Amino acid sequence: MIRFDAVSKKYPNGTTAVDEVTVELAEGAITILVGPSGCGKTTTLRMINRMVEPTAGTVSLRGRDIREVDAPELRRGIGYVIQHAGLFPHRTVLDNIATVPLLLGWGRKKARARAAELLELVGLPAEMAKRYPNQLSGGQQQRVGVARALGADPPVLLMDEPFSAVDPIVRAELQTEFARLQKELHKTIVFVTHDIDEAIRLGDRIAVFRDGGRLAQFDTPERLLSHPADDFVAGFVGQDRGIRRLSFVQAAGLPLRDGPVLPVTSPVTAARALDEPWVLVVDDARRPLGWTPVADLPESGTLADAALVPLGHTFSLVGDSARAALDSALLSPARLAVGVDADGAVVGVADAYELTAGAAPARRTDAAGSTVAADSAGGDR
């Protein structure tokens, strides 16, 4: 694990990049350093592999003060991924990935075999091995950057805004892929971003920095949203943190009611008898077909004759969060979220008020935990 002990970085011109940070980053977890630009998060990251030397305090890696280790040697044991990948333009993709193994003296053959493995691990086809970086798209370059950082299978990975330079669609793809990789690899990852959404999506723990290089809060994403330590953190996390927090509440526990749901074979009279403005029409397996406004129903016949309005989207009780459920309610023409089971059959409906009331108890339980000290947040609480 990585430990910062009263670490500061002050420059000769008087600016303080990092101010007395004490924090312990858990082994095998993703710790996100987040904050506005110039808050010292990248400086903090670079102190882990001695790209920046602290002016006070100590950084230790698995109990050993990193100043005891020769810097290039230390760095070969720590993977590093940066924003614009920083691939070597004069080396093929394969040789880029083989960089650290070659530096460690593995020999060309073994290093290349390892690189070929990593190419596959990051989801790139084998024929890319012989290409040069300028023949790849930004997203592909970033994947190679991750593969290169994993070259010698280092236990620690430092990532400095690795997904910031690609478009949002590719970014989401890379984030998903990254989360999958980490499930397999269990690296100790320190990840810098200025994007709080990315932090919440990927982090096991999040360290929020404020101007002047001070640690404002160190906590789980969920507690950061539910219990920001102060106004700065609350502001940085954003106006919609209440809604975002719903991402951490499982939809499975939400209260649903039967609601106005009728099979497509029902007579229109049955729909009128419900005395509701909208009726959800389902097929014989109870899969939703669409909403129909009762006022516009034909005089007679079945619901098969009714004009259907699209659903917006449903939410699944298996896997979706309360946030998806709330979104489903907001997008529904009837203002009712439709919950479905694993087979896509309707389980029940709820409106936005019912959903948020249902999500609230979860909030009270997690409020039982302690709140967070701003400057001296430890890792294992």
Partner 1 sequence: MSDGEPLVRWQWIADHGAELADYTALHLRLGLLPVLFGLLVSVPLGILCHRRRRLYPPVLTVANILYSIPSLALFMVFVRYTGLTEQTVMIPLTLYTLSVLVPNVVDGLASVPEPVRLAATAMGFGTVRRVLQVELPIAVPVVIAGVRVAAVSSISLVAVGQLIGQGGLGYYITRGLQLDFPTPIVTAIVLIMLLALATDALLVLAQRLLTPWSRNRVTTA
**Residue numbers of the site for partner 1 (CB under 8 A)?**
49, 51, 72-76, 80, 82-92, 99-100, 103, 125, 128, 132-137, 140, 145, 148, 158
Q: What residue spans of 217-296 are helical by DSSP H? A: 221-226, 231-237, 241-245, 268-273
- Specify the residue, 159 or 340, whose C-beta has the smaller distance to partner 1: 159
Instruction: Say how far apart CA 189 and CA 178 lie, in whole Å.
Output: 11
Find where tokens 């040789």 sit.
95
Q: How far is the CB of 79 from partner 1 (least distance, A)?
A: 9
- Specify the residue, 14 or 105, whose C-beta has the smaller distance to partner 1: 105
- Specify the residue, 99 or 193, whose C-beta has the smaller distance to partner 1: 99
The one-letter amino acid code at 332 reads S
Instruction: Say how far apart CA 52 and CA 61 lie, in whole Å.
Output: 15
Q: How far is the CB of 137 from partner 1 (least distance, A)?
A: 6
Neighbours of 191 (CB within 10 A): 25
Q: How far is the CB of 100 from partner 1 (least distance, A)?
A: 6
Q: How far is the CB of 47 from partner 1 (least distance, A)?
A: 12
- Specify the residue, 135 or 376, whose C-beta has the smaller distance to partner 1: 135
- Specify the residue, 128 or 352, whose C-beta has the smaller distance to partner 1: 128
Residue 266: which of 300, 224, 315, 215 has the closest Cα?
Answer: 300
Query: H/E element holding 207?
Result: strand 205-210
Check residue 4 and report its DSSP letter.
E
Q: How far is the CB of 106 from partner 1 (least distance, A)?
A: 13
- Specify the residue, 148 or 245, whose C-beta has the smaller distance to partner 1: 148
Find where tokens 């160190």 sit.
218
Q: How far is the CB of 125 from partner 1 (least distance, A)?
A: 8
For residue 50, the SS3 value is: coil
Q: How far is the CB of 90 from partner 1 (least distance, A)?
A: 5
Q: How far is the CB of 49 from partner 1 (least distance, A)?
A: 6
Enter the tokens of residue 344.
Answer: 């896509």
- Specify the residue, 81 or 200, whose C-beta has the smaller distance to partner 1: 81
Instruction: Say how far apart CA 75 and CA 81 lie, in whole Å.
Output: 12
φ and ψ of 293, to 5 deg: -75, 125
Residue 213: which of 27, 31, 47 has the closest Cα?
Answer: 47
Contact 378, 23 (CB under 8 A): yes
Neighbours of 283 (CB within 10 A): 14
- Specify the residue, 73 or 230, whose C-beta has the smaller distance to partner 1: 73
